[in-house]
């Protein structure tokens, strides 16, 4: 297993929709394992393939990964291949949402309270399940990545513009030094 480099905003590839996985082979399974290791290393609860530079509809997640009580024994990952939200209901405010690809920024994001997801597991088996609360936020956030959407695309234009201005200023300062 290997740690992967996380792609960060404003990298243009993050705004591109991901390609469907046609064949689940050893390369895909290895990518999933590496994504899981990277997610835990970065203290994330979810990670989508585009965030590590792979334009495929794959995500990994573990809602308990950010638990401060985690002693490393809860390091199981769940992987979804070609996931899609097929039903959504309710309203939920995801408070202080963050992203491994959007550095040093958190915001409140309006999300659905409950989502029904259809996907495949690593063996190609079809899955369909319903989640609510934090797991529903993780599904929406990571599937957004697969559709080329960042959580900052779901906040006010003013907050997004302020973040963008700060990032470009930091990039300019880094180039100057």
> How buried is residue 45: exposed, middle or buried, by Cβ count under 10 Å (0-12/13-18/19+)?
buried
Residue 24 tokens, joined:
């689940």
Over the stretch 8-27, which tens digit does the pLDDT of each residue have?
A: 999 999 999 999 999 999 99
Q: Which of 76, 84, 128, 142 is an active site residue?
A: 142
Residue 39 tokens, joined:
């997610």
Which of 93, 137, 101 lies closest to 117 in space, CA to CA?
A: 137
The pLDDT, as a whole number, for residue 17 is 98
Residue 32 reports pLDDT greater than 70: yes
The pLDDT, as a whole number, for residue 22 is 97
Is 37 annotated as catalytic? no
73 pLDDT band (50/70/90 cuts)?
low
Residue 133 reports pLDDT greater than 60: yes
Over the stretch 94-128, which tens digit does the pLDDT of each residue have?
A: 999 999 999 999 999 999 999 999 999 999 999 99
Query: What are the residues whose beta carbons fall under 8 Å from the beta carbon of 105, sequence distance 6 or more?
Result: 98, 99, 152, 163
| pTM recorded for the entire structure | 0.93
Fold type of domain 12-176: Peptide Deformylase (3.90.45)
Strand 58-61 with 46-48, pairing = antiparallel
H/E element, 161: helix 157-176
């Amino acid at each position: 297993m290997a740690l992967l480099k996380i792609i960060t905003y404003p990298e243009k590839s993050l705004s591109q929709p991901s390609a469907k996985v046609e064949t689940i082979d050893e390369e895909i399974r290895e990518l999933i394992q590496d994504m899981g290791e990277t997610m835990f290393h970065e203290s994330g609860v979810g990670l989508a393939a585009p965030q590590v530079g792979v334009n495929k509809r794959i995500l990994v997640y573990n809602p308990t990964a950010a638990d401060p009580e985690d002693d490393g024994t809860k390091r199981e990952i769940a992987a979804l291949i070609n996931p899609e939200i097929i039903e959504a209901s309710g309203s939920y405010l995801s408070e202080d949402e963050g992203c491994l690809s959007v550095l040093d920024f958190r915001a409140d994001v309006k999300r659905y309270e409950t989502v029904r997801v259809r996907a495949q597991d690593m063996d190609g088996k079809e899955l369909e399940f319903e989640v609510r609360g934090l797991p529903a936020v993780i599904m929406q956030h990571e599937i957004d990545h697969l559709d080329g959407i960042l959580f900052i695309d779901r906040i006010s234009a003013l907050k997004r513009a302020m973040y963008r201005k700060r990032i470009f200023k930091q990039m300019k300062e880094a180039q100057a030094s």
